[in-house]
Amino acid sequence: MNAVPQQIAPPGEVAHAIRARGLTRRFGHVTAVDGIDLDIPRARIYGFLGPNGSGKSTTIRMLCGLLQPSAGTVDVLGHEMPRDAEQLRTRLGYMTQKFSLWDDLTVSENLQFMGQVFGLPAQRRRARVAVVVQEFDLASLFKQRAGTLSGGQRQRLALAAATLHEPELLLLDEPTSAVDPQSRRDFWESLFDLVARGVTILVSTHYMDEAERCHELAILASGRIVAQGPPQQLMSEIPAAVVEVEAADTVAARRALVQDESVLSVAQLGTRLHVLIDPATPEPENRVLQRLRAASVAAQSTLVRASLEDVFVAATGFGRAAGARPQD
């Protein structure tokens, strides 16, 4: 058996890391993933943004060959999945949504074990463990059992274990869901370091701020990709005008606005309202003010740049029809 993982992609290999066409997965009556197409370039961070149950985990599991697609094709690093899954094992790193290293083993034992399972020879294993311990700041936790680590520490350990064998492609399923903001920032620094070395990263999240950091993004809802592209592009090409409203009585303001047929959705952000309006509407901020004045609600309004959250709301049918059809 070949114990030396391939570090360099064979010459002439395709430029994309992952390509999927019509990828579908059904569980009984539930269609968890519904005909998605993906083109994920190499050495980029690609994000899956979507609420719980939108099919992020199921898609990632199909991409790393753990689930059989019900329909569609997947190509990962030039190999057909799940057929070639075993051949690709040493070139992929997978971080499960739930922490799944061993609670009753220490940080050091967990890393040693993963190194052995990935078939790293003793010398390289020692060297790599030393490197990831340094990289992910695990030295002080080396002899501590994984079960006693905090959320952020666990996540560092999990990423260390997933990168121990220097994979070309990292699949990270909601890696920051149980982590404090500072740890999340540090974690993303680590991801950019990895990308700088040529690693491709697919990361799923339900945090908008994280999604905004990705090079490219797919927004998932009910198993479908409802929007796809670089975050900046998604925000600038949003099919709606975004008006921010500041009102003393937000409840009354909201009630007044939803009655306007050109208002697509109203979302509250603290004391402000984000109002998405039909882009065909002339001077949308004035239209909003008129509406509010008619309902005798005192307010100020400004036309603003769309946030990713607005993109998400727009892509999912403005909260009216859940799981709207893709917009292409």
Partner 1 sequence: MLLRLFAITCKEVRQLARDRLTFGMIVGIPLMQILLFGYAINFDVRDLDAAVVDEARTSHSRALIADLQATGVIVLRPPSPGLPDLRRRMESGEISVGIVIPHDFERRRLGNDRAVAQILVNGSEPMIDAVARGLASVPLPVRAGDYKSRTPVFEVRTEYNPERRTAVQIVPALIGVILNMTMVIFTAAAIVRERERGNLELLIATPIRSWELMAGKLIPYVLIGLIQTTLILTVGARIFDVPINGSLLDLYLAAALFIAATLTLGLVISTFARTQFQAFQLSFLTLLPSILLSGFMFPFDGMPPLARMIAQALPLTHFVEMIRAILLRGAPLAAMQVPAMKLGAFLVIALAIATLRFHKRLD
DSSP string, 258-290: HTSTTEEEEEEETTEEEEEE-TTSSSHHHHHHH
Q: Which of 35, 53, 119, 319 binds ligand ADP (CB under 6 A)?
A: 53
Residues 82/65, Cβ–Cβ less than 8 Å? yes
Which partner from the list Mg ion, ligand ADP, partner 1, none does 30 bind, CB cut-off 5 to 8 Å by kind? ligand ADP
Work out how close the CB of 64 gets to partner 1 at its nearest, in angstroms, rounded to a whole number: 6
Which positions ≥6 away from 102 have C-beta within 8 Å?
Answer: 109, 110, 113, 146
H or E element: which one contains 94? strand 92-95
Q: Is 105 in the site for partner 1 (CB under 8 A)?
A: yes
Binding status of residue 30 toward ligand ADP by CB under 6 A: yes
**Which residues in 63-92 contact partner 1 (CB under 8 A)?**
64-68, 82, 85-86, 89-90, 92
One of 98, 126, 197, 293 touching partner 1 (CB under 8 A): 98
Phi, psi at 12, each rounded to 5°: 80, 10
Check residue 53 for interaction with partner 1 (CB under 8 A).
no
**DSSP symbol at 325:** P
> Contact at 8 Å (CB) between 254 and 273?
yes
Which of the choices partner 1, Mg ion, ligand ADP, none does residue 287 contact, using the CB cut-off of 5 to 8 A by kind?
A: none
Task: Select the span of 16-24, 54-62, 159-167, 230-238 touching Mg ion (CB under 5 A).
Answer: 54-62
Q: Encoding tokens for residue 203?
A: 């990361």
Pick between residue 44 and residue 89 the one whose CB is nearest to partner 1: 89
Sheet architecture: strand order including 299-304: 263-269, 272-277, 241-247, 299-304
Q: Which of 24, 57, 163, 301 binds ligand ADP (CB under 6 A)?
A: 57
Which window, 31-39, 59-67, 205-213, 229-237, contacts partner 1 (CB under 8 A)?
A: 59-67
Pick one of partner 1, ligand ADP, Mg ion, none as the site partner of residue 1 (Cβ within 5 to 8 A by kind).
partner 1
CA distance 254 to 265: 10
The DSSP element (H or E) to which 64 belongs, if any, is: none
Residue 163 binds Mg ion (CB under 5 A): no
Q: What's the length of the chain?
A: 328
| Cα within 13 Å of Cα(288), Cβ side | 29
164 versus 220: smaller Cβ distance to partner 1? 164
Interface positions with partner 1 (CB under 8 A)? 1, 3, 61, 64-68, 82, 85-86, 89-90, 92, 94, 96, 98-105, 109, 113-114, 116-119
Interface positions with Mg ion (CB under 5 A)? 56-57, 97
Interface positions with ligand ADP (CB under 6 A)? 27, 30, 32, 50, 52-58
